[in-house]
Amino acid sequence: MPSVLEKTIFEDPTLNVIHLLNSISSENPEAISLASGRPDDEQCDLSLIDKGLASYTRYAVDTEHSLATLLCQYGKTTGIINGIIAEHLQVDEGIKIYNPESIVVCMGFQEAATLTLLSIFEGSGVLLVPDPVFSGITGIAKLLRIKIVPVPEDTFLDPSALRKVAEDLESRGEKVKALYAISDFSNPTANSLSYEDRKAMLSLANEMNFFILEDNAYSYFRYEGDKIPLMKSIDSSRVFLLGSFAKSIFPGLRMGYVVAPENAGVISFSARLCKAKSLITVNTPALCQAIVGGLLIENNYSLKQLNQPRVLSYRQKRNYMIECLEREFPIKAGSGRSVTWNHPEGGFFINVQLPFTFEYFEMCECARNFKVIVFPTSLFSLTNQAVTQVRLSFSNATESEIKQAIGNLRAYIESRMQ
Ligand SMILES: Cc1ncc(COP(=O)(O)O)c(C=O)c1O
């Protein structure tokens, strides 16, 4: 047992971020929260459960197993809806999957990431991540004792600068084994990779022999501009696609998947993923798989139509939040704006730049005294980057909450500027 004074991995702040996001609201029940990136409560639709199950029940009639066996027995480790997910990835993403068994159906992105890291990292090796970064990946990488090298986001998004980071590491004897990237509308900064960035990242991975862990959790939520192909659809051989149905169906299902690289001659990552899963969760709950599989079949394997009302509603919320920011923080003649923000083309977040440091202490002060909870972007950083930024989530707030919250944030900022 570690002594009382000894720090364990469980004291690492990265492991606390998701807990903090969930607990800050319950500690400040009267404050409006723009902290958590939950899908909209208004979009939770119980009828999807019945629809999905009914559709899967019809489909199962034509399979070799009875519905009772499929749903009630222990299931195949890789999953029971791999073929359906393969079809879905072809239809929505143009990804051709030759063997559906290269897909492992998982309990959300989080399990997909865990299995993937376990299958790639043994002993040494480095995981490159942008900084700030979604703590779901860094938290599990830390628990697995993987060496993480955070790369400031500006450098990460600049292909030649990123190449230099990887080359410098390798010249010091550190092997880059994988890189984690969110292609569209990242959490926390809402930035995306351009088509050129994606191509450059793939060439670097090929040249330097590492893998890309591609997270597409927010890809369906594009409010303007043209879709950019996922890296997995450009060159599958270096990419583990870590998929999640948390935002595109609903998070209560805890459903996701990983698609391993499929090229002959490379180690069988599917077999490794499968072995690891058989010892972690055995198999993903069949009932949840049936709902997802049924909904995909029901919607001709595409999630675009199902998400159309959500896209319209989130777009409206994003626009409204930007309107409120413009109203509360107007341009001042001569000095511009003291508070600025990005204008993401999609996703759940807007990143705001403040004229002062905003960290954990300030978040608590703002929640307690000004009744609005906004999350410091720096809490997602491993190197104390972005200390003057806050992540505002519009996904689960009503227009009246957004209006009130941005007004309260202005009052807090004014109090700090006096
Ligand atoms: C960047 C990112 N990836 C993935 C997910 C979804 O994870 P899961 O499927 O484990 O709920 C989230 C949810 O917050 C996220 O922000």
Distance CA 402, CA 376 (A): 17
Distance CA 208, CA 198 (A): 15
> pLDDT tens digit string along 74-120?
999 999 999 999 999 999 999 999 999 999 999 999 999 999 999 99
Class of the 47-302 domain? alpha beta
Q: Which residues pair with 222 in a beta bridge?
A: 346
Q: What is the mean pLDDT of the chain?
A: 94
Query: Of ligand 1's atoms, which has the minimum distance to the CA of residue 108?
Result: 9
Is there a contact between 394 and 313 (Cβ–Cβ < 8 Å)? Answer: no
> pLDDT category, 3, cuts 50, 70, 90?
low
* DSSP 8-state secondary structure symbol assigned to residue 288: H
Query: Of ligand 1's atoms, which has the minimum distance to the CA of residue 215?
Result: 3
3-state secondary structure of 259: strand
Mean pLDDT of 200-227: 97
The whole-number pLDDT of residue 268 equals 86
DSSP per position, 55-71: HHHHHHTTSSS-HHHHH
Pick the residue whose CA is nearest to atom 7 on ligand 1: 109
The whole-number pLDDT of residue 370 equals 97
> pLDDT tens digit string along 340-376?
999 999 999 999 999 999 999 999 999 999 999 999 9
Domain with CATH 3.40.640.10 in the chain: 47-302
Q: Which residues pair with 352 in a beta bridge?
A: 341, 390
**pLDDT above 80 (res 4):** no
Q: Which of 18-32, 95-109, 274-288, 319-333 has the lowest mean pLDDT?
A: 18-32
> pLDDT category, 25, cuts 50, 70, 90?
confident
> pLDDT tens digit string along 125-179?
999 999 999 999 999 999 999 999 999 999 999 999 999 999 999 999 999 999 9
Structure-token pair, residue 329: 């923080």
Query: Of ligand 1's atoms, which has the minimum distance to the CA of residue 182?
Result: 1
**pLDDT above 90 (res 197):** yes
Mean pLDDT of 223-233: 97
Domain with CATH 3.90.1150.10 in the chain: 9-44+305-417
Structure-token pair, residue 357: 């440091």
The whole-number pLDDT of residue 265 equals 54
The whole-number pLDDT of residue 248 equals 97
Distance CA 357, CA 387 (A): 5
The residue with tokens 């049924």 is 294
Mean pLDDT of 305-330: 97
The whole-number pLDDT of residue 264 equals 47
The whole-number pLDDT of residue 13 equals 83
DSSP per position, 394-412: -TT--HHHHHHHHHHHHHH
Question: What type of residue sits at position 163?
Answer: R
Is there a contact between 398 and 318 (Cβ–Cβ < 8 Å)? Answer: no
Class of the 9-44+305-417 domain? alpha beta
> pLDDT tens digit string along 234-278?
999 999 999 999 999 999 999 999 999 987 455 689 999 999 999
Query: Of ligand 1's atoms, which has the minimum distance to the CA of residue 134?
Result: 1
Q: Residues with Cβ within 6 A of ligand 1? A: 37, 108-110, 134, 136, 182, 187, 215, 217, 244, 246, 251, 256
- Give the Å distance between the CA of 109 and the centre of ligand 1: 6
- Give the Å distance between the CA of 37 and the centre of ligand 1: 9
pLDDT over 70, % of the chain:
98
